[in-house]
Amino acid sequence: MGKFFTKTIATALAVLFAAYILNGIHVDNTITALLVAVVLGLLNSFIKPILIILTIPITLFTLGLFLLVINIIIVKWAASIVSGFTVDGWFAALLFSLVVSFISSVIEGIIGSGAEKDRS
């Protein structure tokens, strides 16, 4: 349960940061960012694997670049589910997915390394 909470908080912080630095991404408040983080986590856990399996031929043909399109679809879908979170266009969704992935990985790395030191 702690890992889910950590990933959700890291993603919510990344969502807020991405909304701050990117044009075309709008998040109303912190609660909305937390909700976006939960929805993105659920979509990435349950829907994204199905989309990847269904699009294996086109993904292989594009040498994996179609996975970026799947990320865009997931972000746009999250924007349609969560009120208070808007994404203006496909390019903004692409940049958002890249920024959120990078920032949440950095935050999880920092938090995770601190938690591992505490255990030893």
- Which H/E stretch holds residue 26? strand 25-27
Dist CA 69 CA 64 (whole Å): 10
Dist CA 40 CA 11 (whole Å): 9
Least confident of 4-13, 28-37, 62-71, 82-91: 4-13
**In contact, 22 and 92? CB cutoff 8 Å:** yes
pLDDT digits (tens, 9 = 90+) for 83-109: 999 999 999 999 999 999 999 999 988
The pLDDT assigned to 4 comes to: 85
Lookup result for tokens 């995770």: 112
